[in-house]
Amino acid sequence: MTVSDTTVNRPVKTVPMLSVRGLQKIYKVPGGEVEAVRDLTFDLAEGELVCLVGPSGSGKTTLLKCISGLMEQTSGTVELAGSKVTGPPKSMAVVFQEYGRSLFPWMTVRGNVELPLKNQKVPKAERTALVDAALKSVGLDHVPKSYPWQLSGGMQQRVAIARAVAYRPQVLLMDEPFAAVDAQTRADLEDLIRTIWKQLGVTILFVTHDIDESVYLGERVIVLSSSPTVVQEDLKIDLPAERDQLNTRALPRFMELRSHVYAEIQRAKLGPVTEQITAQRKAARK
């Protein structure tokens, strides 16, 4: 992205918050290789909320693991605010789908949220304030002393979100975080994410296979092809900033956008290779 520099009247580059360039990941498996991600390139500007939607097995989790520095890519680069990611960066937080496994059952809600801050050696008074604010922002300030197993699935996922938020990350990555909760809870959690996003101004990359969720939540939707994965489309979601489950989902524009993404996903399922073959055959017939 460029903006004009009025003092010297020449364009200056603004560094994206997150930049993924030519990312490829090939897994070594017994007897061969699996190319999960082929060539992914996209940027997130500071403060954007972008949804990434793709069919199951299209490499979404693989991509997030590479972005968060938990796993090394085969080729390509990931940059966070202009610095190359080579291991888990302090200013990034991840919320996974399997909240059940990501919370420690022997620690209270407060203990779970506080843990990464303790590891970072944040002073006690500051830690307490950050945990209090995070629990309040996810609506769990009434159960700090409960244990995760005493809470519903939706509440457990709120604890995982609070833990990520307390950390005050610059970038929040979420991997299908609501796939395992019921529809009503899911709707509430979607609204919670938009509220937190607005409150904190954090940059969010939200991965989902749910088309409606991607359109409802995102300011932009990146559609992935099936594996080996490339970016199939990068779509701006021009819905009003104030969204609510009943009215936004009933808007004609919402329907248009979800139908468009649905058609893209259907096309994505054919995969880039199939498309290439079809194009080659068409060209040969001419």
> Considering only residues 44-83, where is the footprint of Mg ion by CB under 5 A?
60-61
The reply on whether position 137 binds ligand ADP by CB under 6 A is: no
With beta carbons less than 8 A apart as the criterion, state whether 66 and 17 touch: no
Closest approach, Cβ 166 to ligand ADP, in A, equals 26
Binding mask 24-53 for ligand ADP (x = CB under 6 A): ---x-x----x-x-----------------
Q: What are the beta bridge partners of residue 84?
A: 79
- Residue in 19, 24, 62, 203 binding ligand ADP, rule: CB under 6 A: 62
Contact between residue 159 and residue 109 where contact means Cβ atoms under 8 Å apart: yes
- DSSP state letter for 149: G
User: Helices 124-137 and 109-119 sit at what angle, rounded to 10 degrees?
Assistant: 130
Pair 164, 94: CB distance under 8 Å: yes
The item of Mg ion, ligand ADP, none sharing an interface with residue 279, based on CB under 5 to 8 Å by kind, is none
Does 273 help bind ligand ADP (rule: CB under 6 A)? no
Pure H helices in 14-123: 60-67, 99-102, 109-119
- Number of residues near ligand ADP (by CB under 6 A): 13
Binding mask 199-238 for ligand ADP (x = CB under 6 A): ----------------------------x-----------
Pick the piece of the chain touching ligand ADP (CB under 6 A) from 59-67, 82-90, 148-156, 157-165: 59-67
* Residue 271 C-beta: closest distance to Mg ion, Å: 17
Distance CA 115, CA 213 (A): 30
Nearest Cα neighbor of 230 from 267, 272, 174, 269 is 272
Cα separation, 6 vs 85, in Å, equals 32
Two structure tokens written together for 113: 């949220």
Contact flags string 116-145 toward Mg ion, x per CB under 5 A: ------------------------------
Q: Which residues pair with 113 in a beta bridge?
A: none
CB 181 within 8 A of CB 154: yes
Should residue 61 be labelled a site residue for ligand ADP when binding is judged by CB under 6 A?
yes
Binding stretches for ligand ADP (CB under 6 A)? 27, 29, 34, 36, 54, 56-62, 227
Q: Which residues contribute to the site for Mg ion (CB under 5 A)?
A: 60-61
